Structures are given as C-alpha cells and as structure tokens.
Amino acid sequence: MADLNIKDKSIESSFLSSALATEGHFRDLAEFHAWFRSRSEANTFKVAAIPFSEMVDWHFDPVSGNLVHKSGRFFSIEGLRVKTNFGGPKQWEQPIINQPEIGILGIVTKKFGGLRYFLMQAKMEPGNVNVLQISPTVQATKSNYTQVHQGLRPLFLDYFLDRSKARVLVDQLQSEQGARFLRKRNRNMIVEIEDEIDLPEDFCWLTLGQLKELLKIDNLVNMDARSVLSGIRYAAEGERPAELAGLNGFAKDLLVSMSDRRGGRHARTEIISWFTGLKAKYECSAESVPLKELTAWRRTPTEISHESNNFFSVMAVSVQAGNREVRSWAQPLVKQAAVGLVGFLVKKIDNVLHVLVQAKLEPGFLDLVEMMPTVCFSDVECLTRQKTLPPFAEKFMAPAPERIRYAAILSEEGGRFYHSQNKYMVVEAAETEEFKLPENYIWMTVAQLLEFGRYNNYLSIETRSLLSCLNLL
C-alpha cells in the first residue's frame, strides 16, 4: 500500500469548510436544480411491473424455489427462518435478499481553489419513486466491476481500486437493512484525486454544504450517497474547530457534540460494555431455508407476499435506462407499501447535545445487534406485529415545530426496493425532560457515534442515513 501519512486534522478541517459552503461550481442551488431537471429530461427511463415469468435471466430454482439470476451472481431471494429472544415476535419466516459480495459505494473528492467538492452522479434506479436521484460517484457490485453482466465498466472506478491514483480519506465496511438483507455489506469510500477530469454530463461537483441543503429535499439524495457521507468527521478526536466561534443555536450544539472530547454522559468503555452485554444476552438463530418452504408466504405470477398481506412483498420489473452501464434488464424488487419512520431524539446533557441510540436486533445482521436511531419502524410492522407504538415513537408523532431539527422523506436503495421511503426526523427534547430508558437504549454524543462508525457493523444504515442529514447551516 502507498505510504501516505494522512494528516487527519487537515482532512477533517477541509470537510468542515466544505460543509459551511453553499456556493461553488453551481453558483447556487437554483442552478443545481436546473441541471438536475435537464438530466432528468435528457434521459429516458421506463420501469414496468412484469410477471416473474417475463424476467429475462432470472428464474425460480426448481429445487429450492429461490429466485436467482442465471449467472449465480448479483443477488437472490431466499427464505429465512428466525428464532430470537429479542423484542417482539420470537419466531417467524420471511424472504430475504442474499447478496454475499461486497460492493463499492464511492465518492471522489477534489479541492478547487482550496475548497473541497464531491463528485456526484444523477443516477436512475428502478425502485426510486422519482427514478433519478443524486448518487455517489460509483456504485459498483463486485459482479459489476468484474464484468459479470457484460455492461460498461463504471466510470471513475479505478480511483477506488488503485491506491496509486487517489488518496483514501474514508474506507469503511458498512451493513445495510438487516430486516431485508442477509449480512449484506458495502465498502463505503471517499477518495481524493488531483487529476483534472472531464465532467461527464450526468455528473456534477457539489460542496458538502450544498449536499446538506439538498438533503432537506424529499427523495433527492439516495441511500448510498447518505451512507458514504456519514463517514465524514469535522474534527479529529478532541480537536475544537475554530469554526465553532461563528456558529449559533443548533449548529453550534451539533459541532460541539461532533468534536466533544470529554466523552459525554457515558465513557466509551461504558458504552462498549452496554453493547457487549446486550450481545451476550440476545440470541438469534437465522437459518437459510429454501424459499418454497416458507409456509405463510404465497407466490402468485406477479408477487410473493405474506398471507396476512402485511410486511412486504417481492415483485419483478423490466427496466429501460439511457444512462446505465446496461441499458435494459429485468430484476426483482422488494416492495413495502407504507412510509416508515426513522428518528433521533436528541437532548442536551451537561450542555452537550446527545442522541438517544437504540441497540436493535435484525435477523440479517452479521453481528446480532447494531446501533439504530431512537425510533426505526415501518408502520405496517408497528401496527400489526407490535400492536403498540415502540418506545419514544410518540415524540415524533406531533412534535412542536420549534423542536424539529430535521425532517424529510428519503428513499431507501432503489436498486433493491420498490418505492421504499422513510420519514427521517431529528427532534430535540427539552434539557429538563427526563427519560427512563429501556435496557437497549443509551445516550451518546455525535462524536461517540461517529467513532463507532469507523468500525464494522456498529452503525445501521438508518443511523448512518440520519447522521448524514445533520447540517451546520
């Protein structure tokens, strides 16, 4: 490996300056939106629901009933039999997406005139409600870049594969939805380049501040981009950024919490002990079984769904796209009807902003439990499985407007989910309000949460999504 001695401080400081900049290559966001509209008009996308039997290259395996690609690669839809001592239901069966390969979600960054920019792509995904969203520079499965599907090689991929061409600023292995994916993980990377590049027409350079502003708009910045951006820190551990002096209100509280050195309400040793104790206590056996063995799920020519019509279903689509490596294909998607809720309750404790973190078990997690937002549920699940609202959910139902620090509806992975959306919220509780916490909840500073994000399988995708929305502007 290249012998770069990364100066963490200067990198983090450049992230922070970029997070405070809303003007850049696009003079303002109006100019961005005009560009984005033009990309949407220039490309033609057609996504249509089709029967499973019309999916080119996909079939149900005659023995297992699993839905598989003819190459044996990409992903498959299989069955999972779950037993656990955690939370609500103690055992169930469900279809699950098995995608064992580790792909790359990567953003190229470059400084122009001292200011850091991020190379983003206007990319279509068949499951997106609005088709086109802002995506990382590269989203590549291993099948993708080893050319299993004979498509074009993704642009800019070499910056992520070849250490001599770019400097790695962030490179973390991160999980995705444990309720839908069997131990899926992707490599989340940010790499800095010095090359001059020609900007292809579906790409643009944005400051971090501009990206943060775009994250306030419903369904614009996609899940993969949010996941990668969540790896950014504005300060090395214990460093107090000079920019603090220019901030007020929630932005100041946030940056204090992101650069806190004192360790917050609980020292890291204590948080690790809390998490270790829960991993020792909770048990989960998640056994892969043939899809056709799931007794409560039925398959029609167009969908696989639960006999109660709850939870989610599996469907098929055909896709035609102007700006993708492969221009037409068919694939399965997982469909979830309801809009879910993902929210952090935050509160100042001893003058430092803390977030209320939940340790939650999902059957597809590699390591049993991950750190999730305070609330994280689809309302179907909530209404049917649990019959009551989960802890703290009422804080998000009708919060006083002055307590809402963030709220937008964001899409989940449009390459696997059909029209899947969650309402993401950050709600601040009064400093005087006291909460009694169930055993699997704990208060942390944002700095503590970000530090866990550097290691595998600590922060869930929903936690990372919501972290990426935190905004100093």
Q: Which stretch binds a copy of itself (CB under 8 A): 23-31, 47-55, 77-85, 169-177?
A: 169-177
For the window 344-383, what string marks contact with a copy of itself as x by the rule CB under 8 A? ----------------------xx----------------
Q: Is 102 in the site for a copy of itself (CB under 8 A)?
A: yes
Q: What Å distances lie between residue 24 and 28, 30, 274, CA to CA? A: 7, 12, 44
454 binding a copy of itself? (CB under 8 A): yes
Q: Which is nearer to a copy of itself, 111 or 216 (CB)?
A: 111
Distance between CA atoms of 70 and 434, rounded to whole angstroms? 56
For a copy of itself, the binding residues in 106-145 under the rule CB under 8 A are 142
Give CA–CA dist 224/231, Å, rounded: 12
> What is the DSSP secondary-structure string of 306-339?
ETTS-S-EEEEEEEEESSSSSSEEEEEEEE--S-
Site for a copy of itself contains 245 (CB under 8 A): no
Q: Does 5 bind a copy of itself (CB under 8 A)?
A: yes
Which one of 48, 272, 339, 473 is in contact with a copy of itself (CB under 8 A)?
272
Phi-psi map region of 219: left, alpha, beta (phi>0 left; psi -120 to 50 alpha): left
- Which pair of structure tokens corresponds to residue 130? 């609005």
Q: Which residues contact 148 (CB under 8 A, 6 or more apart)?
A: 71, 73, 74
Find out whether 143 and 73 touch, Cβ atoms under 8 Å: yes
Structure tokens at 432: 């005087």
From 216, 268, 348, 385, residue interacting with a copy of itself (rule: CB under 8 A): 268
Provide the 8-state DSSP code for 397. Answer: T
Beta carbon nearer to a copy of itself, 265 or 299: 265
Closest among 45, 77, 78, 71 to 56, alpha carbons compared = 71
Contact between 339 and a copy of itself per CB under 8 A? no
Cα 106 from Cα 136, distance rounded (Å): 6
> Could you count the other beta carbons within 10 Å of the beta carbon of residue 49?
13
**Is residue 1 a contact residue for a copy of itself (CB under 8 A)?**
yes
The torsion angle over the Cα atoms of residues 320, 321, 327 and 332, rounded to 10 degrees, is: -60
- Which one of residues 146, 276, 300, 328 is an interface residue with a copy of itself (CB under 8 A)? 276
Output the smallest distance, CB 163 to a copy of itself, in A: 9
277 is an interface residue for a copy of itself by CB under 8 A: yes
With CB under 8 A, what is the number of residues at the site for a copy of itself? Answer: 45
Q: Does 228 bind a copy of itself (CB under 8 A)?
A: no
By CB under 8 A, tell whether 71 contacts a copy of itself: no
Token pair, residue 21, equals 């900049």
Give the separation between CA 395 and CA 387, rounded to whole angstroms.
18
Give yes or no for residue 6 binding a copy of itself (CB under 8 A): yes
Minimal distance in Å, beta carbon 6 to a copy of itself?
4
Query: Is 57 an interacting residue with respect to a copy of itself (CB under 8 A)?
Result: no
- Interface stretch with a copy of itself, choices 18-26, 62-70, 217-225, 268-276 (CB under 8 A): 268-276
- Contact pick of 73, 123, 266, 335 for a copy of itself (by CB under 8 A): 266
- Is residue 168 part of the contact set for a copy of itself (CB under 8 A)? yes
The single residue among 63, 280, 397, 398 that binds a copy of itself, judged by CB under 8 A, is 280
- Angle 52-332-376 (CA atoms, 0-180°, nearest 5)? 135
Task: Tell the smallest beta-carbon distance from residue 461 to a copy of itself (Å).
Answer: 17
Q: Please tell me whether residue 8 binds a copy of itself under the rule CB under 8 A.
A: yes
By beta-carbon proximity to a copy of itself, the closer residue of 126 and 453 is 453
- Indicate whether 104 belongs to the interface with a copy of itself (CB under 8 A): yes
User: Residue 199 corresponds to which tokens in the numbers above?
Assistant: 């900007």
Question: Considering the rule CB under 8 A, would residue 439 count as an interface residue with a copy of itself?
Answer: yes
Report how far residue 460's alpha carbon sits from residue 175's, in angstroms, rounded to the nearest whole number. 6
The CA distance from 65 to 290, in Å, is 6
How far apart are CB 224 and a copy of itself at their closest, in Å?
Answer: 16
Residue among 59, 111, 149, 187 that touches a copy of itself (CB under 8 A): 187
Q: Which of 52, 160, 154, 148 is nearest to 99 (CA)?
A: 148
Amino acid present at 401: P
Residue 267 in contact with a copy of itself, rule: CB under 8 A: yes
Report residue 428: phi and psi, to 5°: -100, 125
What are the residues facing 340 on neighbouring strands? 422
Q: Under the rule (CB under 8 A), what is the footprint of a copy of itself?
A: 1, 3-6, 8, 100-102, 104, 142, 168-173, 187, 237-238, 263, 265-270, 272-274, 276-277, 279-280, 283, 285, 366-367, 439, 442, 454-458
